[in-house]
Amino acid sequence: MYAPNKQRSRRLRKKLHIGEFQEMGFEFEAELEAPTELKVQESLVDAFLSEVVEPRSLTFGGWITGGFIASYGPGFVSEKDREAINEWLVRRPELKNIHVGSLVDAWYPPSRD
């Protein structure tokens, strides 16, 4: 990670996605309640995207069993966005063992050492 106390130009901070240009996101994990056909999983992903991800101007990488959520374009994912994703996942009877991570820097996530 880049040293936060070092003076950098606005252009460089933007290029490095630091300071006022930092972007936040979070990971989530879930398990399917039972073995599910691929078509059912695809419809679940479609519902996830259309009901909660796109209306909140978020972007999603992964599958219904886990992935990363970030803001669509530069910006922050809010705690309310995180809670909305968690609520949607918990309400789905097809999913169990849901874990929604805390907000992290989308460009420089903490190391997993």
Report pLDDT digits (tens) over 42-96: 999 999 999 999 999 999 999 999 999 999 987 789 999 999 999 999 999 999 9
- What pLDDT score does 84 carry? 97
pTM for the predicted model, two decimal places? 0.82
Domain parsing of the chain, residue ranges: 43-101
- What pLDDT score does 109 carry? 77
Measured distance CA(53)–CA(51) in Å, rounded: 6
Confidence band for 100, pLDDT divided at 50, 70 and 90:
very high
- What pLDDT score does 1 carry? 54
